[in-house]
Amino acid sequence: MNISPRTDGITAGRLTEDELAQNFSDLHPPLDKHEAHVAADRCYFCHDAPCMTACPTSIDIPLFIRQIATGTPEAAAKTIFDQNILGGMCARVCPTETLCEEVCVREIAEGKPVEIGRLQRYATDRLMAQNTHPFERAAPTGKRIAVVGAGPAGLSCAHRLAMKGHEVVILDARPKPGGLNEYGIASYKSTENFAQAEVDWLLRIGGITIEPGTALGRDVTLEALSSRFDAVFIGMGLNGVNALATPGEGLANARDAVDFIADLRQAEDLQSQPVGRNVVVIGGGMTAIDAAVQSRLLGAETVTVAYRRGQDRMAASVYEQHLATASGVRILANVQPVALHGNDALEAVEFEYTRDVDGRLTGTGETIRVPADQCLRAIGQTLAGAPEPLDLSGGKIAVTGAGRTSLPGVWAGGDCATGGDDLTVTAVAEGRDAAEDIHTTLMGEG
């Protein structure tokens, strides 16, 4: 089956400033005081707290919700930050529908969970707005730790180490800190430059220096860091992108979805961001959904997410899939790309239908051409230039326990290390736990 290709090119300014402002407004507006109290009153304060067990950072959720219910949201924020110093961002981007809210007793009994994520945002926003920091540094230890990567894992690790009294230097390849939170989150999930504001607030603990534009392997070696610092934590994320390896991949207007999202996040003027009329996004994870939805919000007329397996196998949550379809995105499942077509610029993407045979993906031989003047690849990221001589497993840094690598004095966590599930909240937990292990090791307590 073939559909005649249509090409209109990509352009900026498809929508007015007012339309773009509306489209990219807060996905979940913050709760006001009354709404927060009503939401908090729905919590049963379960003694076994399945929501707390489901949270990768083990926040005491019943406690912080009770603190909101009793009119002390700042105390609730402190409860959250004790476990998750990036609780403000996690409240915005965590897939709570598959974590804490999925196991909420209210969800199981009524199909409507306590709004844990929005309550967490209510509390953390209240405290952060006071321009104070809830933690103080311990007495200086004289120890210095290098943290590679200013993303969620690195920031979490650095903050906990600074709180213990250590001096921390964060090295990051990008010009701005924040990692995924700054460059990889959909703009409608993190508005008003919140990612940068959160980093600035986190740094108020003191004892942390950031050196932007410094990449491991390019500007400094792991050996050099190990000789200069008492310990090293690597939280560099995944800096490579998988290729399609199909004919036509090099055509104009075919690019990586992560770059598309990063450009959009850093844009001062949304009208300056070009988008096609007919956009095809290849992939089935959160990056694919974020790129597809934002393409629609920028003014694309048709947006198709193409995934090689069944829709139930997509890494993006059901909630995110529904968000996409509600935004006008079409999800085309059981198709794999075989070629990108066009002369100089992209005109169509050709797919082959697939099916699962005994758990193996098999092409059917039937193809379809989807009109496209822009194609965004979101088929997974990789760890490019892994630091030697660390052992790897599955293309990531192999770790045991609380992030210990094969090299003494070097820890790792977040997306670049094994054992995680590529979530912001998991990276925060791994950075925090590695910091505790680093502190114990350096101070001779373990």
Virtual torsion, Cα 416, 422, 426, 429, nearest 10 deg: 10
Confidence of residue 414 (pLDDT cuts 50, 70, 90): very high
**pLDDT over threshold 70, residue 392:** yes
Report the pLDDT value the prediction gives residue 438, as an integer from 0 to 100: 98
Confidence of residue 125 (pLDDT cuts 50, 70, 90): very high
**pLDDT one-digit tens code per residue, 262-279:** 999 999 999 999 999 999
Please indicate whether the domains covering 10-25+241-381 and 144-239+383-442 agree at the CATH topology level.
yes
- 429 is written with which tokens? 């937990």
Q: What is the CATH number of domain 144-239+383-442?
A: 3.50.50.60
Pick the CATH number of 33-128 from 3.80.10.10, 1.10.1060.10, 2.40.30.10, 1.20.1250.20: 1.10.1060.10
The gap from C-alpha 174 to its chain's centroid, in whole angstroms, comes to 16
**Residue 352 corresponds to which amino acid?**
E
Looking up tokens 């070097």, which residue turns up? 410
- CA 84-85-88 angle, to 5 degrees, is 90
Report the pLDDT value the prediction gives residue 5, as an integer from 0 to 100: 37
Report the pLDDT value the prediction gives residue 446, as an integer from 0 to 100: 59
Q: Classify 302 as helix, strand or coil.
A: strand
Domain ranges, ordered by start, for the chain: 10-25+241-381, 33-128, 144-239+383-442
Backbone angles phi, psi at 330, to 5 degrees: -95, 135
**pLDDT one-digit tens code per residue, 369-387:** 999 999 999 999 999 878 8
Q: How far is it, in rounded angstroms, from Cα 263 to Cα 273?
A: 8
Report the pLDDT value the prediction gives residue 372, as an integer from 0 to 100: 97
Report the pLDDT value the prediction gives residue 248, as an integer from 0 to 100: 92
Are 279 and 372 spatial neighbours (Cβ–Cβ below 8 Å)?
A: yes
Q: How far is it, in rounded angstroms, from Cα 151 to Cα 56?
A: 17
441: left (phi over 0), alpha (psi -120 to 50) or beta: alpha
Report the pLDDT value the prediction gives residue 1, as an integer from 0 to 100: 35
Top-level class of domain 10-25+241-381: alpha beta
Widest pairwise Cα distance in the chain: 70
Question: Residue 3: exposed, middle, or buried by beta-carbon count in 10 A (0-12, 13-18, 19+)?
Answer: exposed
Select from 27, 5, 90, 112 the least CA-distant residue to 427: 90
Are 207 and 418 spatial neighbours (Cβ–Cβ below 8 Å)?
A: no
Please, what is the average pLDDT of the chain? 94
**Whole-model pTM above 0.85?**
yes
